[in-house]
Chains A and B, each alone.
Chain A
Amino acid sequence: MGTTASQLGKDMLSEYQELTFLTKQEILLAHKRFTELLTRDEKDLANTRVPIERILTLPELKSNPFRKRICHVFSTSEYKDGSLTFEDFLDLLSAFSDSATLEIKSHYAFRIFDFDDDGTLDCGDLEKLVNCLTGETDDTRLTPEEMRQLINNILEESDIDKDGTVNLSEFQHVISRSPDFVSSFKIVL
């Protein structure tokens, strides 16, 4: 889309500035980091997709427990392979930036936590979420009994309409009451 591989045009830059929460420096840095991920052949092509494996080599995402989910959520790929274009990448950074609004952040957090992409956080999603946060191996995982109790607690405190799942508005309600979220839902390049 007019993005030359080596540098960004002025128009593109101002458009990116308008559409994201990033500053010029951040966009340029993002561009630099993104082009570093490209192979030599890809550098000449405009609008290349970088596969998820290479995206995850970024140190900012490397050890994040949600790294795959993040890529899938922000990917606009038709094949659902989690590959990112530069614009997707900007989108990601914008949502995780300092100045993004709570609504944007909670929206994307919800989608990251919604492992089966069905629009609600149900028991399965919550279980996966907890496992993601406590570690996947058997010795770190919570016991089924604990997990059940935990999910009950979670639903009890957030499922306002008592339908057994947490939907986006309920999630946003929860988020708005945990002030640490905004400062911790942040990835800086």
Chain B
Amino acid sequence: MTSYSNGGFFNPAYHDSETLEVDRRSSRKTHQHTNPYARSEGADGHYSTGQISSDDALRRMPWGQEESWRGRESIPMGLISTRPRSPSWQHDINHSTFQIPPEPQYDRSPSVRLPSTTSGNMTMRWRGISMRRMSLFPNGDPNQVALTEDAIRDEMENEEQNLVKELVALSTRDRIRAIRDLSMSFDEKKQIRSQVLAFKSAKKSRQFTCFADCSENMSLSFRRFGYGIRSARQTLELWQGIMKEIGGTFGTSVLSYFVFLKWLLMFNIFSFLVNFGFITIPQLVNDPWPDIPPNVNFRGLEILTGAGYFNNTIMYYGGYSNQTLGGLVEYNMQLAYFFTIAVYMVMCGIALIFSMASSFKTNYVLADPTSSSAWQLLCSWDFNITNEKAVRQRKNNLRVQLKESMSEKAQRERLTLSESLKHFGIYLGSWLLSSGLAIGSGASIYYLCQFEQQRATDAANWSLLQEAETLLVPIVVSLINLVVPLFYSLFNKFEQYSNHRNQIYALVVRNVLLKMSILAVLCYNWMNVVAIKFACWESMVGQSLYRLVIIDFLFLMFGSFFGEFLSNVIGTRLFPRLGVPEFDVARNVIELIYAQTLAWIGIYFSPLLPAIQILKFFILFYLKKVSLTQNCQPPRRSGRAAQMQTIFIALLFFPFFVGALSIVAYTAWSLTPSEQCGPFRGLNSTFSVIGVWMEDLEEISHSQWVVWIYQNVIRSEIFYFLISLIILVMMYIFWQVTQGRKLLIRVLRQQIVNEGKDKSFLLERLQNLQKSHPDKRSIPKNQKKHSKRRPDDHSSGGQSTSNAMVQALLARQQLEEERLSTGGVPVPSDISTSNALIQAMKARQRAEDQEREEQYIPAYYESPINTSSSVTQAMQARQRAVVEGTDDARDLNSSVSSVMMQVMQARQRAEEEDMPQWVPAPPKNQTPAGSSALIQAMLARQQAQNEYDDGY
């Protein structure tokens, strides 16, 4: 009975409204009058002993009349034990409450709880059922009252069966996922699983077929395979320990840089494998030794410049042949080169789009636009952090941030015109300055390139000095990339952004502008100057890219030295005021993106560039790790790591990948390949290789369809026109759907607010009603005093209603009032449950009011059966009133309020109207009134207890 031993806390109904036990609450109550909301230590004792003394029972039922209740089992009132010294307390659990009786099949789990949250839709279903059951109670026809317990038990059984069936009906994978997603403890999940499996095996033995067996085995082995892959991936996970260490000390936002680095590394490994496998290996097999001119020697400087000795190797485009390689199968190098690059680019694009879209979906669309809210700070506590010092620091930072968020909220409005003008001026100035810097660097690189081109010759054999001169451009570029962002960071210090996020965005946008202007100038130079001037121009471009990649790597190392080490020295030795630097995630990530863009552009000109890139990133990882742990402190600002990562992926995709793709595509489409080297020599453009291929294919009879596709799809404008039209239409439709959902969300939110208002209104009403009966404040133990006082209080009622029943009810009510007065605690956790609770309280109140009007309660005990017809009448009348009330309420109430609430409010109104009628009711009617009221009270109590339990 795991669920009991948890005191209901591990109960799936912890947040849902599904617990149907009555007894736990009562036992808690009897022992903890002072604080019924604390965790019940007592509850376990009861269940484990399985005994409850009659004393205890008496205390729970403070009236001394249990005897007269004997034989009235048909009243579904959990607490009124029909046998005070009943077999055991357990009996009550299974009998008088709605607990599901233990099923023989699952004898291991007598108290299997229905998992109320299996998945989204299941949760909704359970909630729906609970709503139905709630509404079943107060409206219950008295004829059905006796049946209610059975009916509900049946329903619960059905529900359980349904759940098990639902789980059984799912495919094995879905079922495992559904069970795994249950938010309950391990033991409970295990029980559910064993139930489902038992059910499944029982079912299977009935309809055993070979096919089912086979498919079961298949799915099992697939599952095993899936687990195997997951495990293998885990084992292959690179740098796991280091990642954990970084996350443990610096938190998630810094970790995201390393995750990104690792992701890029994987990208490059993939691209290296593809290029190496499909382009380089065939070339090597065909012609293992590059034809290097005899007067070119390896001088060492090539490692930096990539020129000279490397020029004719497979490193660059020029090193590849245009032959169709013979051997076992024919291998067309032209086609291989073209398709490898094309497919690689397309796959990169798809991978980026997918990761960007999923990242956007989870991190951005759902995110609250109103930033710096307190909850986001509280929820962003990093459970990763394990370092004691980091935890302390983080606590401090969080406190500062919380204070800032509060003061921000207070200050937001107080911004005078002059202040905002000043801010605007600063923004404008710094934006102008930074754009100017970006354009200036672009222009300077342009002139530098022109200068270089004038000096460069198309000779195969450069002198050492000439070769060294080629390093000028990449060094200047990297220098700009290193220095200008530092200026940008400086500007950023002067600007006062209202929130941290805008500040980072401004920084990122400026850096992106800078890198883009530099890359644009370089590309222009390659496409328009180099392509005309040199004979084997692709290799020249490849060389420049190689140089850029290498020098960029060296400068990244310098960057971490200057950026982090020096400022650490300055911060700790020279100006302690500045403090130890933080790791600037944004700047570092932009550097990575820039490096990756170079590799993408270079993929056409230098197919083995990814190998260099892999090496670079690999070393960079360790370098940054050391630099981080030695020089940096954890970031003062936490949070937004996930969103920043989304932004980075988006940036990587949008200007950078798309830019690289368009440059490669432009090269392939429009530029004439060099005539003396490379796989595409002699062609008008790279793309015309497809045309040649098609001409070859036309001669082969059974590949006409490929030619047809080429003629009618690839080369036809109408196809692209249609495709873009369809995409546009789909985009429009999805956009409309999004708009509609947004509207729906707004409406639903408003509805929740309205429900909340209704709830508080009803609670207020209830409290007012209770205040009008002052005697409810008494304590149940003072029964005698209480009963003596009662007649005085209710002299208007005429008759003394000193029976213990009423007192018991009042006592309970008083407890509930205590609950209310203990400060908001009892307010139920769900709106639906609150409705029911209110209903229950109302019903009890009503019952009490009616009982008070009773004049002769023993009559009820003497003739319980005769009254049933009049009970029916009374109930029907009330129902009619309810219906009428409902109609009124519909008019009055706002349309968004749920019908359920309307009905309840209406009933309340109807009952208020009813009450005066009941007072002068003829004596004949009083007995049925009493009985129905009793039944209602009991039902209400039971319900209230259910709701109470659900609160736990």
Contacts and interface: CB of A to CB of B under 8 A. Distances in A.
Interface of A: 14-15, 17-21, 23-26, 59-60, 62-66, 74, 76, 78, 80, 87-88, 90-91, 96, 101, 103-104, 107-111, 116-120, 122-123, 129-130, 133-135, 140, 142, 146, 149-150, 153-154, 157-158, 160-165, 167-169, 174-188
A162 B399 CA distance: 26
A104 to B, nearest CB: 6
Contacts of A96: 383
Given A119-B14, A133-B381, A63 B388 contact: yes
Given A123-B824, A160-B753, A187-B384, 15 more contacts: A19-B179, A59-B386, A76-B186, A109-B379, A110-B15, A111-B14, A116-B37, A119-B951, A154-B374, A157-B370, A163-B760, A178-B376, A179-B363, A180-B640, A181-B379
Contacts of B830: 167, 169
Contact of A163 (B235, B370, B827): B827
Nearest to B120: A103
Contacts of A167: 15, 829-830
Contacts of A188: 244, 247, 384
A134 B402 contact: yes
B376 A140 contact: no
Contacts of A182: 362, 642
Which 7 residue pairs across A and B have the least CB separation, nearest first?
A161-B756, A168-B15, A179-B363, A134-B399, A177-B368, A107-B183, A167-B829
Contacts of A24: 227, 230-231
Chain B contact surface mostly = helix
B187 interface: yes
Contact of A133 (B2, B378, B640, B757): B378
A8 to B, nearest CB: 14
Contacts of A91: 185-186
Main secondary structure on A side of the interface with B: helix
B398 A133 contact: yes
Nearest to A170: B752
A147 to B, nearest CB: 10
Interface of B: 2, 5-7, 9-10, 14-15, 37-39, 41, 44, 48, 117, 176, 179-181, 183, 185-187, 189-190, 193, 224, 227, 230-231, 234-235, 244, 247, 251-252, 256, 362-364, 366-368, 370, 373-376, 378-388, 391-392, 395-396, 398-399, 402-403, 405-406, 409, 639-643, 749, 752-753, 755-757, 759-760, 823-825, 827, 829-831, 834, 951-952
A51 to B, nearest CB: 17
A182 B244 CA distance: 16
Nearest to B15: A168
27 contacts: A15-B193, A63-B386, A63-B387, A76-B185, A76-B187, A78-B44, A91-B185, A118-B37, A119-B14, A133-B381, A134-B395, A135-B395, A150-B374, A153-B373, A157-B374, A160-B753, A161-B753, A163-B759, A163-B824, A167-B15, A178-B375, A179-B367, A179-B642, A179-B643, A180-B639, A183-B641, A188-B247
A120 B829 CA distance: 6
Nearest to A126: B378
Contacts of B825: 118, 120, 122, 165
Given A150-B406, A153-B406, A108 B362 contact: no
A176 B2 CA distance: 31
A164 B827 CA distance: 9
A168 B17 CA distance: 12
Nearest to B235: A25
Nearest to A154: B374
Contacts of A26: 234
B380 A181 contact: yes
Contacts of A74: 185
A19 B186 contact: yes
A96 B367 CA distance: 21
Nearest to B190: A19
Contacts of A168: 14-15, 829
B379 A64 contact: no
B760 A184 contact: no
A84 to B, nearest CB: 11
A103 B387 contact: no
B375 A184 contact: no
A185 B379 CA distance: 8
Contacts of B186: 19-20, 76, 87-88, 90-91
A65 B391 CA distance: 8
A60 B367 contact: no
A139 to B, nearest CB: 10
Given A107-B15, A185-B383, A65 B388 contact: no
A162 B827 contact: no
Nearest to B829: A167
Contacts of B756: 160-163
A187 B757 contact: no
Contacts of A23: 227, 230-231, 234
